[in-house]
Structure 1
Amino acid sequence: MAAPATADEALFRPVRAGNAFEETVERLLQAVRLGVVAPGERLPAERELAARLSVSRVTLREAIRALQQAGYVESRRGRYGGTFVNQTLPSGAGAAMRQPPADPVGDLGDALTLRHVLETGAAATAAARPLGPGERRHLRSRLAETAAAGLAEYRRKDSRLHLAIAEVTASASLTAAVADARMRVNELLDAIPLLEPNLVHSNEQHELIVASILDGDPAAARQAMAEHLDGTASLLRGFLS
């Protein structure tokens, strides 16, 4: 009988290709939070860690840089250098983040499940409708605004794009439900840092979602939205769970 997997093996297993950066951040944060790599200890060498996670070294470096900025790890140069877990870890969400809700773990699973059901359904429904010229312009306009947004306004523009997708379903009830779910998720998102590699990736995924809707492909729109939401979920679980 094979030996059971260790926590180290379980956390540093290959990530899925669709959201490599986000899942890499999640795995590294889990390793730190669970004490698999304790404060003061070094993460596995970059080459080894990239191979175990099945990600490029560029993706791994971006994930490590995100954790550095959030106060979880530091990089040291020299013969005994590498990436080390900080002796003092951020309390809750850390200095770069706002305070999370009182019960982030309890809120998180419920909020993410509701968002997934509503927004994947909205994307598929929007793609199944014969959209008029105004609705198409509306989606393209919101997409362009989000792609051009800076860090300070990104979350607001992102929310408007997601609401625009709900709006073109022509269901006022669904749009209201998506808006309510988005407000809950935004409270959680406000508790974690904005990570530039994630924003670049999100914009690429937004392009695919909108293109699938405009092409009238419900299955592709649902799949693209699901993959997009999975990336956000990975970051939230990593920082807040």
Structure 2
Amino acid sequence: MAEETGEPASFDLLLPALRPVRAGNGFEEALERILQVIRLGLVPGGGRLPAERELAALLGISRVTLREVLKVLQDEGLTESRRGRYGGTFVRPRTDPADGGELRRRMAETDIEDLLLFREVLESGAAGLCASRGLDDEGADRLRTALAATHEAPLPHYRRLDTLLHLTLAELSGSPSLAARYATVRAGVNELLDCIPLLVRNLEHSQQQHTALVEAVLARDEETARAVAREHCAGTAALLRGFLA
């Protein structure tokens, strides 16, 4: 393990955590991986992460994506960037033992894996039902309108309008029971999401997935609709696990 001298952490220690991410959620999963490395102490306070070129190769992402991930970590006060011959990205010492306390308190009251898995089942199920059954003109207009609202949403209102889009999809599935259960599950997910920052890159990626999801539903492409919904849920799960670990 790297000491406070600033020597980069041993690759042998980092390899199990910094495995290549999947293409669909590269930003979110890369952020999750590095957060795990930091939270687990594999790179201690004062230690240096591998160089950008090496870190990007380990994670299987572009250096552009990696820099966006590193910027989030720096904005959250978890790392700092230093220039010069001995520069790089350094993990900041944790001075507040209660860091993330609100999220951990909520997590103690929630079975996160069960919640996230159930959400994925409900969302992919709703997407599949909407696509297989098809939507009438009114339903299609409602879905397009909900999607457009998320594209135009100011940052403080994004999560509310994002929730409305997913609730609309659940309601259009034709199953009142599914819609009711999804509303309950989504409330639990939102409580956790409220404890982590809104990340612009993640929101941009989410919007791409939202668009692909709506397009698949309107095209009555059930397989794609289910796949996009699952991938979208996996991105959110990766962020929550990353900030929780």
* TM-score normalized with structure 2 length: 0.91
Tell me which moved more, 7-16 or 208-217: 7-16
Structure 2 CA distance for partners of 1:209 and 1:81, relative to 1, 3 Å:
same
Paired residue type of 1:144: A
> More displaced, 230-239 or 62-71?
62-71
Give the residue type in structure 2 aligned to 1:149. Answer: A
Q: 1:155 aligns with which of 159, 179, 182?
A: 159
Letter in 1 for 2:76: A
Q: How many residues align?
A: 234
Q: What is the distance in 2 between the residues matched to 1:193 and 1:90? A: 18
The residue type paired with residue 90 of structure 2 is F
Going from structure 1 to structure 2, the CA distance change for 1:119 and 1:89 (only over 3 Å counts) comes to farther
| Gap change, CA 1:143 and 1:90, over 3 Å in 2 | farther
Q: 1:77: Cα distance to partner?
A: 1.4
Larger deviation, residues 8-17 vs 137-146: 8-17
Cα 1:178–1:24 shift into 2, 3 Å? same
Q: Secondary structure at the match of 1:49?
A: helix
1:102 to 96, 101, 105: 105
Is 1:49 the counterpart of 2:55? The answer is yes
In structure 2, the residue matched to 1:230 is: 234
Q: Is the 8 A contact 2:143 2:165 kept in 1?
A: yes
Question: Residue 5 of structure 2 aligns with which residue?
Answer: none
**Structure 1: which 5+ residue stretches go unaligned?**
none
Task: Provide the rounded CA distance (Å) in 1 between the counterparts of 2:193 and 2:83.
Answer: 33
1:115 maps to a residue whose letter is R
Tell me by how many angstroms 1:33 deviates. Answer: 0.6
Structure 2 CA distance for partners of 1:125 and 1:91, relative to 1, 3 Å: farther
Q: Displacement of 1:204 after TM fit?
A: 0.1
Contact 1:29 1:239 in 2 (8 A): yes
Partner of residue 69, structure 1: 75
The answer to whether structure 1 residue 190 and structure 2 residue 194 are counterparts is yes
Query: In the alignment, is residue 126 of structure 1 matched against residue 146 of structure 2?
Result: no
Structure 2 segments unaligned to the other structure (5+ residues): 1-10
SS at match of 2:103: coil
Q: How far apart in 2 are the matches of 1:62 and 1:47?
A: 14
> In the alignment, what sits opposite 1:9?
15
**Counterpart amino acid of residue 77 in structure 1:** R
Partner of 1:40: 46
| AA of the residue aligned to 2:115 | A
- Identical aligned pairs, as a percentage? 51
**In the alignment, is residue 29 of structure 1 matched against residue 35 of structure 2?**
yes
Q: Partner of 1:212 in structure 2?
A: 216
Q: 1:89 to 1:107 in 2, by over 3 A?
A: farther
